[in-house]
Structures are given as structure tokens and as C-alpha cells.
Amino acid sequence: MNSAIAVYWHAAAAEARRYIAGMPSDSGAAQPGLVLGAALFETGDLTGAARAFESAGTSPAAYRRAHPYESARHRAWALTHCATVAAARIVLGAVASHRQGGPEAGQGIVGGDLTDDAIAAAATAGL
């Protein structure tokens, strides 16, 4: 990654963290968490990105009761981004090993649960 671009994404992640820290705890807003997740994803911090996306899809119970449809939409969108992180882990594992392609890496999880252990096994298959 170009160093100027890397600096940009690290700065974006820091700004998102600062913004989130100042939000009220009962806020149901998902967008700041999605921004943080995207910035972390771009910096290569897939674990941090997954946590940020998961957090973005989790609203306080009172907010979920008051805004059920908005909460569901936020949750679905956040889980979509979590799936992108999972796919990136598999592809990066396939590329890093130089012994398998993306389709081969994914074969170990097709039809099964997408757990951290299944992703790790798929990413390291063929090593």
C-alpha cells in the first residue's frame, strides 16, 4: 500500500475511534462503527475490522425496541461487512501459501459453519 494512502486510513481509523468514544452509550447509530471497520480493513487489520463491523450491528435493547427495522438493517449491513472480512481472510491465506487458489481455499468451508476455526483451516490448507 502506498504510504500516503496508509497514513490516510490510519488517520481515518483514529478519527472514527475518537468520534465513537464521544457518542452516548445508548446511541443506535451504526455508521461510525462501519467507518471504523472500513478504515481498519483498508489498513489490513482484519480482526479489528471484524470487531468494528460486529459492534456496528449491535444496538442497545431499547434502541432495537424503538427502531426495529432500522436496527435490523444496520445488523444486516454490518454482517455483510463481516462476511467481506471472512472472505479476505480466506483469500489472503490462499495467496500467502502460494500453494492453492481462492476456490481451493474456500472448499473447506462450503456448506459448513463460517467459524474462526473453519476460516483458519481454509486459509492454511495446503501448507
pLDDT (tens digit, 9 = 90+) per residue, 52-70?
Answer: 998 888 888 888 899 999 9
Q: Above pLDDT 70, what percent of the chain? A: 72
Q: Give me the helices (H) in 22-115, please.
A: 31-43, 46-56, 61-66, 68-97, 102-107
50/121 Cα distance (integer angstroms):
18
* Residue 127 reports pLDDT greater than 50: no
Which pLDDT does position 56 carry in this prediction? 86
How far is it, in rounded angstroms, from Cα 71 to Cα 118?
A: 29
pLDDT of res. 98: 46
Q: Is it the case that residue 123 has pLDDT exceeding 90?
A: no
Q: Of 18-22, 30-34, 84-88, which range is least confident?
A: 30-34
| Average pLDDT score, the chain | 79
Average pLDDT over residues 31-53: 89
Neighbouring residues of 117: CB distance < 8 A, sequence distance ≥ 6: none
